[in-house]
Amino acid sequence: MQNKTYRLFISHSWNYSDAYDGIIDLLNKQDIAYYNHSVPKNDPIHTNGTDIQLAEKIESKVKGASCVLILAGVYSTYSKWINKEIQMAKKYNKPIVAIKPWASKKISSVVQDNATKIIGWNSLSILNAIKEVK
């Protein structure tokens, strides 16, 4: 039996790339076929593009994803991009899986209020949430 390939947009800030890398590591520990719709770090739009160009690129990535994963750390509340990504996910009816940072008790109220599902920092929890919402 062939596994379904999940199309994931992983919301992140390159200022917090350790968290993004951690989610990739957790996904890779599970038996899940996925395509990463996130805008790659080496894309020149991060350094040479305008906010409008980056927003258009992100929107095209969210639109093609089956699920949006968002780190639910409190810093997310203050990120203009996370708010935009949430609105994009809602616009295209994409489920949002909020992932609590490791050992964190507080999470972003913005992410919490918009999440389809909130889970802990655990590879099996992420896998099950992706399968459940899509």
- The CATH code that applies to domain 5-133 is 3.40.50.9200
Amino acid at 76: S
Q: Which of 102, 101, 131 is nearest to 116 (CA)?
A: 131
One digit per residue, the tens of pLDDT, for the chain of length 134 reads 446 899 999 987 766 678 888 889 999 988 889 999 988 777 767 667 788 888 998 999 999 999 999 988 766 656 778 889 999 999 999 999 999 887 777 888 888 999 999 999 999 999 999 999 87
Dihedral over alpha carbons 54, 73, 17, 89 (to 10 degrees): -30
Q: What is the pTM of this model?
A: 0.89
Burial 64-74 (b: 16+ CB within 10 A, else e): ebbbbbbbbbe
